[in-house]
């Protein structure tokens, strides 16, 4: 499949240049206010040849009803249960593939994009036939902090993902190649969509960008950051809920098992079991976050057992 897609790069580029059709998908879950704000920002985009889709992960707080009232023409699809970031976005991926869209824009429900963001994403996809994913630069609307201009960097030894920032050169550099782009607001190209890229639903959420980065590499595709694409991500300050601790710890082990070599896995198991997790128990307990610490241990143990569910096992 990889070879076939790359051989057809010229015809794909011509198809995209002729009339790029974009499916813009917003994923929501129990978040009416931020979802409405995100949809409004997408309605203000300069690029107009797109279909706006709201994929909802079984919200029960009126998110869908409010969105339908605000945007009567909106295409709304409600999932039968909460399938997480990966499952919800796979629904959009399958729709984009089956309806032959040129690009799929995936957006979180808490993102406000600059008016030309989609235009720039599509422009980069059109001008770089080897691109599989295109992302932008995230800003924290409260602090003005910039993140991910240099994409994400994943290390297999400690199975950690770091979002890096680095100034673009003054010589007019608009884009740079990275390992992975931020999952809150990203464009998947035709080659990625038709080439079979899928979110790994074993992850549910967290570290999904890492798996996507490895998928693109294996297909000979690139991940790019476009400096002109600006979005404000209304993410909460770092949370220490049991669900977050569980999923992040479980997914770190899952990813090193999936993408690392045996020596990466051996080192990570020794480090996490003998150093990291004991330290977490002590430090987080002293901080009054004992539940978070023990959820991390539970996630690690489930990762060892190969236990993966599409549901978040620790509630909200």
Q: What is the pLDDT along the chain (316 residues), one digit of tens a residue?
A: 332 222 334 444 444 456 799 999 999 999 999 999 999 999 999 999 999 999 999 999 999 999 999 999 999 999 999 999 999 999 999 999 999 999 999 999 999 999 999 999 999 999 999 999 999 999 888 887 888 788 899 999 999 999 988 776 656 678 999 999 999 999 999 999 999 999 999 999 999 999 999 999 999 999 999 999 999 998 766 678 999 999 999 999 999 999 999 999 999 999 999 999 999 999 999 999 999 999 999 999 999 999 876 444 444 4
Q: What share of the chain is helix, strand, coil (3-state, %, to 5)?
A: 45, 20, 35
What pLDDT, on a 0 to 100 scale, did the predictor assign at position 278? 96
Spatial neighbors of 17 by CB under 8 A, at least 6 apart, are 126
How many Å apart are CA 316 and CA 157, to the nearest integer?
30
Helix H or strand E segment including 122:
helix 117-127
Could you tell me which of 128, 166, 129 has the C-alpha nearest to residue 149?
A: 166
**Tokens, residue 64:** 């869908």
- 2-233: which CATH topology? Spore Coat Polysaccharide Biosynthesis Protein SpsA; Chain A (3.90.550)
How many Å apart are CA 113 and CA 83, to the nearest integer?
25
Three-state secondary structure call for residue 162: strand
CA distances (Å), origin 160, targets 24, 61, 146, 165, 168: 29, 34, 20, 16, 24
- Is pTM beyond 0.85? Reply is yes
SS (H, E, C) 181-209: CCCCEEEECHHHHHCCCCCCCCCCCCCHH
How many Å apart are CA 275 and CA 279, to the nearest integer?
6
How many Å apart are CA 315 and CA 274, to the nearest integer?
28
How many Å apart are CA 164 and CA 171, to the nearest integer?
21
Three-state secondary structure call for residue 69: helix
Which DSSP symbol is given to 29?
S
Q: Other C-beta atoms within 10 Å of 262: how many?
A: 8
Look at strands 222-233 and 111-113 and give their pairing.
Answer: antiparallel
What pLDDT, on a 0 to 100 scale, did the predictor assign at position 309? 61
Spatial neighbors of 123 by CB under 8 A, at least 6 apart, are none
Domain ranges of the chain: 2-233, 242-305
Look at strands 50-56 and 185-188 and give their pairing.
Answer: unpaired
How many Å apart are CA 117 and CA 113, to the nearest integer?
6
Look at strands 222-233 and 131-139 and give their pairing.
Answer: parallel
Three-state secondary structure call for residue 2: helix
In degrees, rounded to 5, the angle at the alpha carbon of residue 35 between the alpha carbons of residues 31 and 40 is 160
Task: With beta carbons less than 8 A apart as the criterion, state whether 149 and 201 touch.
Answer: no
């Amino acid at each position: 499949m990889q070879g076939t897609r790359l051989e057809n790069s010229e015809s794909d580029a011509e198809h995209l240049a002729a009339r790029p059709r974009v499916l813009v998908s917003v994923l929501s879950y129990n978040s009416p206010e931020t979802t409405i704000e995100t949809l409004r920002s997408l309605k203000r985009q300069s690029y107009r040849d797109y279909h706006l889709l709201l994929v909802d992960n079984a919200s029960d707080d009126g998110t869908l009803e409010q969105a339908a009232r605000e945007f009567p023409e909106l295409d709304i699809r409600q999932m039968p249960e909460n399938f997480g970031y990966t499952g919800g976005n796979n629904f959009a991926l399958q729709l984009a593939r089956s309806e032959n869209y040129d690009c799929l824009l995936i957006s979180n429900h808490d993102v406000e994009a600059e008016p030309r963001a989609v235009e720039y994403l599509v422009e980069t996809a059109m001008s770089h036939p080897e691109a599989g994913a295109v992302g932008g630069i995230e800003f924290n609307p409260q602090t003005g902090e910039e993140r991910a201009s240099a994409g994400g960097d994943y290390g297999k030894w400690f199975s950690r993902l770091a979002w890096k920032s680095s100034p673009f050169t003054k010589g007019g550099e608009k884009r740079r190649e990275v390992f992975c782009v931020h999952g809150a607001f990203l464009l998947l190209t035709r080659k990625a969509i038709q080439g079979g890229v899928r979110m790994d639903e074993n992850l549910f959420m967290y570290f999904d960008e890492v798996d996507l980065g490895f998928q693109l590499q294996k297909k000979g595709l690139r991940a790019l950051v476009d400096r002109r694409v600006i979005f404000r991500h209304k993410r909460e300050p770092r949370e220490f809920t049991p669900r977050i601790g569980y999923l992040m710890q479980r997914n770190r082990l899952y990813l090193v098992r999936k993408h690392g070599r045996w020596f990466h896995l051996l080192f990570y198991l020794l480090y996490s079991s003998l150093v990291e997790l004991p330290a977490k128990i002590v430090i987080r307990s002293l901080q009054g976050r004992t539940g978070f610490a023990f959820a991390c241990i539970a996630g690690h143990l489930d990762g060892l057992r190969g236990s993966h569910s599409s549901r978040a096992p620790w509630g909200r």
